[in-house]
């Protein structure tokens, strides 16, 4: 019971009370708990019964916990009970239960748990390199194991537009036709995308789609000549390196706003979650006054669709954004006046300091893949900070959560995605979920070493960081 990642709020191991699964073991649940029971049953290869009589019993009971994602797990020799106020809480408890299970034995004892931050996310850059629905589902499975609950998909950039927009079909068919290095490419039809969103939702993971504008737009500009200021479409960009921030939508042309309205309407219709991410990073090719006018017209479009806006922290340079707008900080400073004043006016923020959670940074010098413009970032660097106190003028209550971006310029395959994401995402998960009182590097490093065999069993190509004594 002492190897759970992320560390729970309260754990009382009782080894003598371990539960042994037999062929007769069933898991029971009622109502909205049944899909969670089915997820657990599939993982343990047992069956589900409706009701309350299973040797493993999942119960929805608001009185059991105080946090919407909280749960209480009791493992005894005869019975395992898991109670939560919501299916998300039950699902979190199931992830803990699965980590207590090995070889048909569930370690005995009690766990009471709830998350510290609401948003515990990972971002996957689908644009620089495209990943199939099957690969993203594998990624989602691994996020769920660590109670991460947001998947931010970077769907558009200079190198690729990855989602079908029915009113502008060439965005996907032309804009999605290649990727970094040329060749490859691909895109999600709206049915593919709905399938992904539903798969993530069944694992209590919310998808945040990013349509990066007005910069990082070569794939869109290559798809429609009229989107370009001079009416001439460039080729889709297949380069990488420090070549970012060179493109811009024609923010002075009316057609750009029809384009934005159509795109945002179709993406919002595919998004059950609260947020659409508008990027707004590195708009070096957009005149500042035009950029402000662009945001002034586009932010209300998102509100009119009933959604809230997320954006890289440059979005704070916009005229009076709605208080619901969440800036995602990707800098390396521990103070930023714009962030502090956003918090002062009531906005919450998302923290992604590049030198702590940019998972496209090399673990150590000399690696074939990854960048190092924010320095090398090994597991201890990801673990070694506190989102609750990281930024001046940003108290814990203003921190919606943390998110680890994985940019894919240098990632040649999905195996590279797993090598950069794991084990560092386990550290992100602990920072996002566990109480600060449970923060302890030696404990985490020991638990991570103990977790390694589970990644081996799942066939995950995790990086054997030199900082961890892998088994």
Distance of CA 352 to the CA centre of its chain: 11
Give Cβ neighbours of residue 230 (< 8 Å, ≥ 6 apart): none
C-alpha radius of gyration, the chain, whole number:
23
Q: Which two tokens stand for residue 203?
A: 């694992």
Beta strands per DSSP E along 100-242: 101-102, 105-106, 109-113, 119-125, 150-154, 206-213
Task: State in angstroms the smallest separation of the CB of 358 from ligand IFG.
Answer: 6
Closest CA to 69 of 461, 334, 344, 433: 433
- Buried b or exposed e, range 162-180, using 16+ CB within 10 angstroms: bbbbeebebbbebbbbbbb
Shortest CB 337 distance to ligand IFG, Å? 19
The contacts of residue 117 (CB under 8 Å, 6+ apart) are 387, 399, 400, 401, 402, 432, 433
C-alpha 435/C-alpha 437 separation (Å) is 5
Cα 327 from chain centroid?
15
Options 38, 266, 274, 282, the catalytic residue:
282
Consecutive H or E run containing 383: helix 379-383
- Cα 183 to the center of its chain, rounded Å: 27
* Token pair for 150: 């947001």
**Active-site residue 78, yes or no?**
no
Question: Using CA atoms, how far apart are residues 382 and 357, in angstroms rounded to an integer?
Answer: 6
The C-alpha atoms of residue 140 and residue 151 are separated, in whole angstroms, by 8
Packing angle, helices 133-145 and 414-421, rounded to 10: 20
Query: Which 8-state DSSP code applies to residue 23?
Result: T
CB of 375 to ligand IFG, least distance (A): 12
What gap in Å lies between CA 327 and CA 337, rounded to an integer?
A: 13
The CA-based dihedral angle spanning residues 272, 275, 276, 278, taken in that order and rounded to the nearest 10 degrees:
-170
Please report how close the Cβ of residue 184 comes to ligand IFG at its closest, in angstroms: 18
User: What φ, ψ does residue 22 adopt, rounded to 5°?
Assistant: -125, 180
Q: Which of 261/375 has CB closer to ligand IFG?
A: 375
Packed helices 254-269 and 288-304: angle between N→C axes, nearest 10 degrees: 40
Give the bridge partners for 10, in sequence order: 112
Contact residues: ligand IFG, CB under 6 A: 244, 281-282, 312, 330, 358, 360, 371, 407
**Tokens found for residue 51:** 């009701």
- Give me the active site residues, please: 282
């Amino acid at each position: 019971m002492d190897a759970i990642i992320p560390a729970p709020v309260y754990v009382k191991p009782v080894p003598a009370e371990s539960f042994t699964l037999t062929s007769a073991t069933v898991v029971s649940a009622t109502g909205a708990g049944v899909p969670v029971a089915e997820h657990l049953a599939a993982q343990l290869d047992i069956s589900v019964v409706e009701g309350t009589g299973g040797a493993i019993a999942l119960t929805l009971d608001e009185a059991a916990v105080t946090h919407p994602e909280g749960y209480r797990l009791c493992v005894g020799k005869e019975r395992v009970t898991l109670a939560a106020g919501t299916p998300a809480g039950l699902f979190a408890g199931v992830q803990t239960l699965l980590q207590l299970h090995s070889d048909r034995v569930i370690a005995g004892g009690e766990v009471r748990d709830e998350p510290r931050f609401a948003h515990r996310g990972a971002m996957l850059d689908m644009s620089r390199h495209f990943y199939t629905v099957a690969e993203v589902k594998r990624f989602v499975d691994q996020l769920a194991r660590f109670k991460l609950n947001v998947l931010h998909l970077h769907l558009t950039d200079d190198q690729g537009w990855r989602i079908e927009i029915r009113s502008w079909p060439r965005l996907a068919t032309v804009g999605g036709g290649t990727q970094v290095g040329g060749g490859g490419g691909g895109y999600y039809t709206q049915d593919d995308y709905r399938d992904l969103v539903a798969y993530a939702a069944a694992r209590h993971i919310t998808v945040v789609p990013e349509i990066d504008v007005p910069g990082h737009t070569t794939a869109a500009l290559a798809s429609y000549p009229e989107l370009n200021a001079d009416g001439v479409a460039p080729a889709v960009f297949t380069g990488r390196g420090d070549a970012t921030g060179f493109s811009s939508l024609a923010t002075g042309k009316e057609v750009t706003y029809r384009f934005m309205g159509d795109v945002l309407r179709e993406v919002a219709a595919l998004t059950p979650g609260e947020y659409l991410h508008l990027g707004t990073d590195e708009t070096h090719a957009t005149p500042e006054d035009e950029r402000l006018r662009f945001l002034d017209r586009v932010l209300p479009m998102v509100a009119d669709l009933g959604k809230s806006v997320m954006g890289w922290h440059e979005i704070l340079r916009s005229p009076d954004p709605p208080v619901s707008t969440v800036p995602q900080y990707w800098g390396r400073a521990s103070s930023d006046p714009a962030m502090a004043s956003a918090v002062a006016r009531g906005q919450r923020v998302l923290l992604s300091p590049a030198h702590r959670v940019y998972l496209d940074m090399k673990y150590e010098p000399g690696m074939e893949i990854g960048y190092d413009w924010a320095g090398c970032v090994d597991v201890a660097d990801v673990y070694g900070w506190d989102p609750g106190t990281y930024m001046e003028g940003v108290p814990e209550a203003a921190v919606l959560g943390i998110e680890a971006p994985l940019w894919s310029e240098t990632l040649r395959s999905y195996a590279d995605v797993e090598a950069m994401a794991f084990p560092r995402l386990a550290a992100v998960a602990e920072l996002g979920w566990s109480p600060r009182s449970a923060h302890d590097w030696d404990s985490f490093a020991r638990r991570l070493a103990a977790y390694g065999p589970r990644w081996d069993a799942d066939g995950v190509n995790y990086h054997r960081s030199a900082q961890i004594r892998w088994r």
